[in-house]
Amino acid sequence: MEPPADAPGALRGALRTAPAPVGAYRPRMTAEPASDDRLLAGRYALREVLGRGGMGVVWLATDLRLERPVAVKEVTFALHLSDEERRLLRERTMREARTAARLDHPSVTSVYDVVEEDGRPWLVMELVQARSLQEVIDGQGPLPWPAVARIGLDVLAGLTAAHEAGVVHRDVKPANVLVADDGRACLTDFGIATATGDPTITTTGAIIGSPSYMAPERANGQPPGPAVDLWSLGATLWTALEGHPAFARGEPMATLMAVVTEEAPPAPHAGPLEPVLRGLLTKDPAQRTTAQQACRQLQAALDEAQPAPWSPGPAARQPEPPQQVDEVRQDRVERIDAADLRALVAASATVLGTVARDARDQARHLAERRRERRAQATAREEAAAQESAAAQEQAVARERAAAQERERAVAARADQRPRFRFRRRWVVVPVLVVLLVVLAVVAGLVVLAGYLLGWS
C-alpha cells in the first residue's frame, strides 16, 4: 500500500527526533475531511483522510486513550484476489506488522498498534513532521552526495535493526524514506510492504512491489531475503543522486526486464559514492555489498570530505515540466500476475542465456588473446634475455681479451728490460777496462819519468 506521490511524509509514519515530544508536529498539507468521525477498535477516532493509494488509505486519527494524534493506515486488498489469497495476506499482514511494532530504533518509524476490523488490518503509527525523500527529490531535483550518504547511513541503520529482528522491508524506495528538517532520515511502512509485497508465486501466483526498486531475485520469483532491501536502497540512493530512477522504462514489465537484464547506468553525480552504488546494485545477492560494508564506505566518504550540514529546505514545490511518456513515476506498487512473471523469468533467462553465451565466447576470445599476449611477452623476454646474455658474453670476452693484451704487454716489457741491461753492461765494462789500462799506462809513464829524472 502506498499513498499518492504528493502526500506528505507524515502519512507514511513517524520520524522520532528526541527530545521532541510525540505528536509535536502536524502534517504539511490540507487533508481531506472524513465524511464522518469513525471509531476504530473503540480507541482511534478517524478524523481526516490524508492520502489514498492503490493499496489503502491513510488517516489522521486521535488515540482517545492516550490523547495524541496518530497516523492510521488502512490496508486494502485488490478486488481480483480470491478469498484464500485475502486470508493469507491478512494473516501475514497481522503477523509481520506485529513484528514491526517490536522494532525500536531511531531510523525506523514506530508502529504503535495493529488491529483488525472489517476483515482487513489497520496499522497505527506515530505522526510527526517529515517529508518523504521522493517529495524532496521532486522539489529540489538531484541531491548533493553528502546528503545522500547521510540518508543512506540512517536507512542502513534502520534496515540492520529490522533484519536482526527478522523483518525484511521489501519496498524500500524514496516514497518510504522520511527526511526531517535537520536532514536525518528514517524508514517507514515496515510490515506493510512486507505483507503486501511478499505474496509469492506459490501462494497468490503474483508478486507485488515497486518495479523500479524491486531486486532482480524478486523479479525472478526467488524467495526474498535481507539482500533485496540493500538492492532497493541502492536504487533509492541512485534516484536521490540523479533525480530519476535508474531502471524506469515507463511500463512495469519493461522496467522489471531492465532490472533483471541491464546494469545500472553511470551516476554522474555520485562522486565517491559510485562504488557503494555499484556494490548495492550487484545482480547476484551473494556478491552484493552487505549493510556493514556499505556503512563503512559511506562513512569513509563523509569523513574524508567533511561536508557542511544539509537540510531538505522548505516544502514549497517548484513548477514541474510536463512529463514525457518514459518519465511516468515508477515508485507505484504494481501487481505482477503469474503469467507475466513467468514470461519475465523466461525472457530474462533467454536474454541472460544469450548474454551468458556471448560472455563465454567473449571470455574465451579474451583468454586466447591473453595467452597470445603472454606467449609474445614470454618470447620477447626470452629474446631480450638471450640478447642480454650474448651482450654479457661479448663484454666478458672483450674484458678477457683486454686482460690478455695487458698481460702480453707486461710480459713484453719484462722481457725487454733484461736484454737492455745486459747490452748496456757489455758496453760499460770494456770502456772501464780501457780507462783502467789508460790510467795504468799514464801512471807507469809518470813513474818512469820520475825515475829517469831522478837519475839524471
Q: How many CB atoms lie within 10 A of CB 235?
A: 28
C-alpha cell at 414: 719484462
Cα separation, 198 vs 168, whole angstroms = 10
Cα separation, 289 vs 2, whole angstroms = 28
Mapped onto helix, strand or coil, the DSSP state of residue 53 is: strand
Cα 439 → chain centroid: 117
Cα 386 → chain centroid: 48
Nearest to 35 by CA among 54, 6, 11, 57: 57
The set of residues, in sequence order, having a beta carbon less than 8 Å from that of 204 and lying 6+ positions away, is 81, 85, 88, 89
Mapped onto helix, strand or coil, the DSSP state of residue 312 is: coil
Cα separation, 202 vs 99, whole angstroms = 23
Rounded-to-5 percentages of helix, strand, coil across the chain: 55, 15, 35
Angle at 29 between CA 120 and CA 68, to 5 degrees: 60
Cα separation, 115 vs 90, whole angstroms = 11
- The answer to whether the beta carbons of residues 200 and 209 sit under 8 Å apart is no
- The answer to whether the beta carbons of residues 146 and 140 sit under 8 Å apart is no
- The answer to whether the beta carbons of residues 187 and 109 sit under 8 Å apart is yes
C-alpha cell at 357: 553465451
Cα separation, 348 vs 357, whole angstroms = 14
Q: Which CA distances in Å does 43 have to 10, 97, 124, 181, 240?
A: 21, 19, 11, 31, 39
Catalytic residue among 113, 154, 171, 229: 171
Half-sphere exposure for 9 (CA within 13 Å, toward CB): 31
Q: Is 229 a catalytic residue?
A: no
12: left (phi over 0), alpha (psi -120 to 50) or beta: alpha
DSSP character for 57?
A: E
- Residues catalogued as catalytic: 171
